[in-house]
Amino acid sequence: MTSLICATDVSVSHADADLPVLSHVDFHIVPAEIVTVVGPNGSGKSTLVRALLGHVALATGRVQRAPALRIGYVPQRVHIERAMPMTVRRFLSLPRRVSDAQASAALERTGVPGLEGRQITALSGGQFQRVLLARALLNDPQLLVLDEPTQGLDQPGIVAFYKLIEEVRAETGVAVLMVSHDLLVVMRASDRVVCLNGHVCCEGTPQVVSAAPAYRAMFGAESQGTLALYQHHHDHDHDHVAEGHSHGPACAHTH
Ligand SMILES: Nc1ncnc2c1ncn2[C@@H]1O[C@H](COP(=O)(O)OP(=O)(O)OP(=O)(O)O)[C@@H](O)[C@H]1O
Ligand SMILES: [Mg+2]
């Protein structure tokens, strides 16, 4: 299947860092796929996301994006916007103006209807993340890129957010690239997981990754039980969209 984004042999060095932040990373994502990148703090997850979006210079390799690809991006840090006095309605019209109907529909879709008149600063953490998602959905993206979208949420909030992501994917066919630290939930909600630590340590279906020695070494005690949890939740239907997504270096088909 044609990739939306395909990266080959990507390395990134920052000016004031001795070692490359990313070394020879291959990555791809196809339509309607949910791929989650996990890894320790400083392992290059946000840098990879920014490299895929073309926001940082590459030391080696190349990134191919499908022509005219529509991306809804929520960066890891949006606190500056949050500190400004601004209603949710106005926030949704930045940077691109949208109609009242579009704004309301997006809020409805992400489970926070009727918040238009509320100040951004008055939202709870969970409401704010949903408003960010609503804004990212406004240009009818083919790919959502969410860098730690569940930061600050409690466990039920995290589970609800991932459920919402899966619903949106099922309805719209949008592909989702996420960075996350929520291992247990990631393992339930992703088609494919990429473990990053400057390079790709392991990747594959949640089942494959959670059994991989590199994953277990990276996350230690935290990783315990993720395989059991994955199997428990996938004994039933599911995986209908996942099948056949994670095969092969799909770059050859992009432009
Ligand atoms: N603009 C920059 N200039 C210099 N170094 C940078 C820059 N951006 C990131 N780095 C460094 O690159 C490394 C990877 O950072 P990155 O933000 O990609 O990690 P991360 O995996 O997203 O971490 P976290 O889980 O904390 O968000 C870090 O050592 C960071 O200090
Ligand atoms: Mg980061």
Query: Can you tell me the mean pLDDT for 28-38?
Result: 96
Kindly report the protein residue whose alpha carbon is nearest to atom 26 of ligand 1: 41
How far are the Cα atoms of 78, 162, 167, 180 from residue 89, in angstroms, in the given order? Answer: 17, 24, 23, 28
pTM score, whole prediction:
0.87
Q: Please tell me the distance between residue 214's alpha carbon and the centre of ligand 2 in angstroms.
A: 20
How much is the pLDDT for 212? 87
pLDDT digits (tens, 9 = 90+) for 87-127: 999 999 988 899 999 999 999 999 999 999 999 989 998 89
pLDDT digits (tens, 9 = 90+) for 37-79: 999 999 999 999 999 999 999 999 999 999 999 999 998 877 5
How much is the pLDDT for 80? 53
Residue type, 35: V
Q: CB of 72 closer than 6 A to ligand 1?
A: no
Atom of ligand 1 nearest to the CA of 22: 14
Query: Can you tell me the mean pLDDT for 187-216?
Result: 91
Query: Who wins on pLDDT, 134 or 81?
Result: 134
Q: Please tell me the distance between residue 44's alpha carbon and the centre of ligand 1 in angstroms.
A: 6
% of the chain residues with pLDDT over 70: 84
Q: CB of 16 closer than 6 A to ligand 1?
A: yes
Q: CB of 23 closer than 6 A to ligand 1?
A: no
Q: Residue 247 pLDDT more than 60?
A: no
pLDDT digits (tens, 9 = 90+) for 135-183: 999 989 999 999 999 888 888 888 889 999 999 999 999 999 999 988 8
Q: Please tell me the distance between residue 17's alpha carbon and the centre of ligand 1 in angstroms.
A: 10
Kindly report the protein residue whose alpha carbon is nearest to atom 2 of ligand 1: 14
Atom of ligand 1 nearest to the CA of 148: 27
Q: How confident is the model at residue 81 (pLDDT cuts 50, 70, 90)?
A: low
Tokens 């990747």 correspond to what residue? Answer: 203
Q: CB of 19 closer than 6 A to ligand 1?
A: no
Burial class (CB in 10 A: 0-12, 13-18, 19+), 42: exposed
Atom of ligand 1 nearest to the CA of 47: 18
Query: Who wins on pLDDT, 184 or 192?
Result: 192
Q: How confident is the model at residue 245 (pLDDT cuts 50, 70, 90)?
A: very low
Q: CB of 43 closer than 6 A to ligand 1?
A: yes
Alpha-carbon distance 83 to 213, whole Å?
Answer: 42
Please check whether residue 75 is in contact with residue 136, taking contact to mean a CB–CB distance below 8 angstroms. no
Please check whether residue 175 is in contact with residue 216, taking contact to mean a CB–CB distance below 8 angstroms. no
Q: What is the DSSP string of the chain?
A: ---SEEEEEEEE--TT-SS-SEEEEEEEE-TT-EEEEE--TTSSHHHHHHHHTT-S--SEEEEEE-TT--EEEE-S--HHHHHS--BHHHHHTSSS---HHHHHHHHHHTT-TT-TTSBGGGS-HHHHHHHHHHHHHTT--SEEEEESTTTT--HHHHHHHHHHHHHHHHHH--EEEEE---HHHHHHH-SEEEEESSSEEEEESHHHHHT-HHHHHHHGGGGTTHHHHHHHHTSSS--TTTTT-S-S-GGGG--
Q: Please tell me the distance between residue 40's alpha carbon and the centre of ligand 1 in angstroms.
A: 11
Q: CB of 237 closer than 6 A to ligand 1?
A: no
How much is the pLDDT for 246? 40
